[in-house]
Amino acid sequence: MEASASRQSLGLSVIIITKNEATRIADCLASVCFADEVIVLDGFSTDDTASVARALGAQVHQVADWPGFGLQKNRVLALATQPWVLSLDADERVTPELQAEIIQTLSEPAYDGYRLARLSEFCGKQIHHSGWWPDYVLRLFRRELGTFDDAPVHEQVVLTGRVGKLKACLLHFPFENLDALVVKINRYSGEAAKLMATQGKRVGVLGLIGHSVWTFIRIYLLKRGFLDGRHGFVLAVTAASGSFFRYSKLMFLNEAREQKKTK
């Protein structure tokens, strides 16, 4: 997606990592057609992700191994050539309002990076509570001043410079249905448990129960998830389940390591 000769360059690279996102990548790419270049780093998807992205003008690169989200995003960041970078996931969309604000902001940037508010949808409903909104994420930043941490999940941009906020929001469609949420909870809880185990963290039965109960209370009551109706209740329960699985897996990982040491 090269800049049109009829308009001035924004100096903006959009970077995206993908794996089997054929059903969502087209809408994501369409929302960033104003960028000077769009770079997709694909993990050798078994669907049509790569071909769809190429057909829509994105630069597509592929790698076979999976080092974790943070390191994978640093790989695609290294491919960007423009002074500014907008990092997106395939399930995110830049609204026309956000596009206009980005264009205006990059004409006279006051900061070195900008946080964007994400408005997420779950099972057909936009979630305005439950800890899901405004969910500010640092995604727009000067390429030479930013990098991603090496977290295997929930990676973040580490920026050397001043950070501001944009007013328009980024749309987020993280789960096509409840099944997708359950699959992600299982995957993320396993990766988080491995990370905690390497950090020497431990937990017992009472601890994992406590973490789960507190997660439900925090999301449903303190974060006012009840105002999101039945969707908020389901989100609070699934988040509590994710906490339960995460700490259960940590407990069993530690037990397995101890048994291995005694053999």
- 235 with 142, same domain? no
Whether 19 and 140 share a structural domain: yes
- Is residue 3 included in any domain, yes or no? no
In the predicted structure, residue 20 carries a pLDDT above the cut 80: yes
User: Do residues 161 and 109 share a domain?
Assistant: yes
* CATH number reported for the structural domain that contains residue 133 in this entry: 3.90.550.10
> Quick one: 153 and 169 in the same domain?
yes
Pairing of strands 113-122, 12-18: unpaired
Domain hosting residue 154, numbered range? 12-175
Last residue of a domain, one of 138, 158, 175: 175
Q: Are residues 42 and 151 in the same domain?
A: yes
> Which of 138, 154, 175 marks a domain boundary?
175
Q: Sign of dihedral through CA atoms 104, 107, 109, 115?
A: positive
- If asked whether residues 54 and 166 sit together in one domain, one would say yes
pLDDT digits (tens, 9 = 90+) for 1-17: 555 444 579 999 999 99
- DSSP H/E element including 26: helix 25-30
More confident residue, 263 or 39: 39
**Amino acid 1: pLDDT:** 57
pLDDT in tens, 196-233: 999 999 999 999 999 999 999 999 999 999 999 999 99
How open is the CA angle 238-138-25, to the nearest 5 degrees?
A: 70
6 in a structural domain: no
Q: Is the link from the previous residue into 134 a cis peptide, with omega within 30 of 0?
A: yes
Same domain, 119 and 208: no
Q: For residue 93, what pLDDT band results from cuts at 50, 70 and 90?
A: very high
Q: Does residue 74 contact residue 87 with C-beta atoms inside 8 Å?
A: no
Contact between residue 189 and residue 242 where contact means Cβ atoms under 8 Å apart? yes
Strand partners, 118: 170
What would the mean pLDDT of 123-133 be, rounded to a whole number?
A: 96
pLDDT at res. 41: 98
Query: Same structural domain for residues 17 and 96?
Result: yes
The residue-averaged pLDDT of 130-155 equals 94
Share of the chain above pLDDT 90, in %: 88
Domain count, the chain: 2
Say which DSSP state 35 is in.
S
**Alpha carbons 155 and 68: distance in angstroms, whole number:** 9
Q: Are residues 23 and 64 in the same domain?
A: yes
Q: Which of 149, 175, 201 is the last residue of a domain?
A: 175
Rounded Cα–Cα distance for residues 192 and 184 (Å): 12
* One domain for residues 91 and 207: no
- pTM of the predicted protein model: 0.86
CA dist 171 and 39 (Å) reads: 20
Residue 2 is predicted with a pLDDT of 52
Residue 94 lies in a domain: yes
d(Cα 178, Cα 67) in Å, to the nearest integer?
Answer: 27
Asked if 34 and 103 count as a contact pair (C-beta separation under 8 A), the reply is yes
CA 134, 136, 142 angle in degrees (round to 5)? 150
Strands, E, within 106-177: which ranges?
A: 113-122, 125-126, 136-142, 146-148, 157-159, 163-175
The answer to whether the CB of 80 falls within 8 A of the CB of 10 is: no
CB 94 within 8 A of CB 207: no
In a domain, 2, yes or no: no
Same structural domain, 106 and 156: yes
Contacts 24+ apart (CB under 8 A), 173-176: 173/24, 173/91, 173/92, 173/93, 173/120, 173/121, 174/91, 174/120, 174/121, 174/122, 175/122, 175/123, 176/23
Examine the domain organization and report whether 123 and 243 are in the same domain: no
